[in-house]
Amino acid sequence: MSEAESSGPDGDGAGVEGTRAAAEPGGGDDSKHTLDTLGSVGELDALARIIPRLPPSEATMLGPGDDAAVLAAPDGLYVVTTDMMIHGPDFRLAWSSMRDLGFKAAATNLSDVAAMGARPTALVVALAAPAETPVSDLEALADGLREACAELAPGCGVVGGDLSVSPTLTIAVTAFGDLEGREPVRRDGARVGDVVAVSGPLGAAAEGLALLFERAVNGDGVPDARAAARLRSEHPVAVAAQLTPHPPIADGVAAALAGATSMLDLSDGLALDARRIARASGVSLDLDAAAVCMAAGVDASRLPHVIVGGEDHSLLATFPPATGPGQSLPGGFRVIGRVVEAGAEGPALLVGGRVFAARGGWDSFDEWSGGVG
């Protein structure tokens, strides 16, 4: 987070509803520091403790500390995307640690860069938090950002951002990527005859979210931190898929090099995102139910949940038929369907040749489309 051009306090420092009763450890061994809050130490001292924990970017020409960062763009082009996470509609502090939030904030943006066939190079992070937020929590969030970059996109780092005060914890990340001389892989390139393939999990994040809403709330429906901790141990894969997703970032470049004709990040669910490719390309996507279940590792009874569930942040792509069944697909991609001509109803999502009309997926303007996005 850059020290320059930082906005001043713009909130009253009220507590966030549903936050943890006690601050979780966020790193650092100095017990005095665990008592420090954003309001008590001020912006500059907080940044002085956060910035050293953030990962550097290999593309940095000028990093945090000036009015703006300067990044190398060797071929003159770069990919840029941005996303916000807001306490309430996007996460619950009773369920997620600050380290979790840092990891997820990075991962969800890195996957959008990967979906364009680009290599992630840098993040800019803007954070608004209540004044009473422990600085150790901000350090933990920085640790999560660093760990996500190191694990998912080595060489990518945080080059700047902003820190401010708000009654509601809000994390906004802007991510940059290098196309390395390639054309971007867009949503509108799918052609009849292409195969449809996915890399990464299907349905796991939605399962984790459902478990949290069903079993990690108290009698009044308020998120319960202790119940969430139990769920983490009882259902580690599903809960981790929701709280700390691990998208297959490297497979974005691999797909581009293999000639992917279209691609996107499955942030909002297979049904909703597959329809986006169909509409953009003027075709229909026909999914094979058995192949989808196999890719998701579930039996046929779970198929509707897999198709409508969101937030896996896997990569959905189409490839020329030469890379279809019996041929080699890049990375972790598995064939789950094919591209067919749009019918009389126009571009659509089909399953086994029949229109899949069920609504589903995450829509941030529909409170109950999928719970927390």
- Residues of the chain with pLDDT > 70, as a percent, come to 86
Domains of the chain: 33-178 (3.30.1330.10), 195-355 (3.90.650.10)
pLDDT tier at 23 (50, 70, 90 boundaries)? Answer: very low
Mean pLDDT, the chain, rounded, equals 87
Is 286 annotated as contributing to ligand binding?
Answer: no
Query: What distance in Å separates the CA atoms of residue 47 and residue 1, rounded to the nearest whole number?
Result: 7
Neighbours of 359 (CB within 10 A): 11
What pLDDT is attached to residue 361?
55
Is 310 annotated as contributing to ligand binding?
Answer: no
Q: Rounded mean pLDDT of 228-256?
A: 97
Query: Which tokens sit at 218?
Result: 């108290």
- pLDDT of 65 > 80? The answer is no
Q: Rounded mean pLDDT of 227-238?
A: 96
Neighbours of 294 (CB within 10 A): 14
Is 168 annotated as contributing to ligand binding?
Answer: no
Q: From residue 176, how far is each of 112, 119, 266 by CA, in Å?
A: 10, 8, 19
Query: What distance in Å separates the CA atoms of residue 22 and residue 98, rounded to the nearest whole number?
Result: 13
Is 311 annotated as contributing to ligand binding?
Answer: yes
What pLDDT is attached to residue 33?
53
Is 166 annotated as contributing to ligand binding?
Answer: no
Query: Which tokens sit at 144?
Result: 């999560």
- For helices 204-215 and 236-243, angle between their N-to-C axes, nearest 10 degrees: 100
Q: From residue 348, how far is each of 284, 295, 340, 353 by CA, in Å?
A: 5, 21, 10, 11
Is 83 annotated as contributing to ligand binding?
Answer: yes
What pLDDT is attached to residue 216?
96
User: Which of the residue ranges 71-85, 285-299, 332-346 would you say has the lowest mean pLDDT?
Assistant: 71-85
Is 95 annotated as contributing to ligand binding?
Answer: no
State how far Cα 307 lies from the chain centre.
Answer: 18
Is 82 annotated as contributing to ligand binding?
Answer: yes
- Residues of the chain with pLDDT > 90, as a percent, come to 71
Is 81 annotated as contributing to ligand binding?
Answer: yes
3-state secondary structure of 158: strand
CA 200, 205, 207 angle in degrees (round to 5)?
125
Is 90 annotated as contributing to ligand binding?
Answer: yes
- pLDDT of 6 > 70? The answer is no
Asked if 317 and 170 touch (Cβ cutoff 8 Å), the reply is no
State how far Cα 107 lies from the chain centre.
Answer: 5
- pLDDT of 3 > 50? The answer is no
Is 273 annotated as contributing to ligand binding?
Answer: no
- pLDDT of 19 > 60? The answer is no
**Residue 174 DSSP code:** E
What pLDDT is attached to residue 368?
34
Check residues 28 and 329 and name the one with the higher pLDDT.
329
Neighbours of 61 (CB within 10 A): 11
| Cβ within 8 Å of residue 292, ≥6 positions away | 202, 270, 303, 306, 307, 336, 337, 351
* Strand blocks (E) in the chain: 60-62, 70-71, 79-86, 119-129, 157-165, 170-178, 195-199, 262-266, 283-287, 314-319, 334-341, 349-351, 354-355
Is 268 annotated as contributing to ligand binding?
Answer: yes
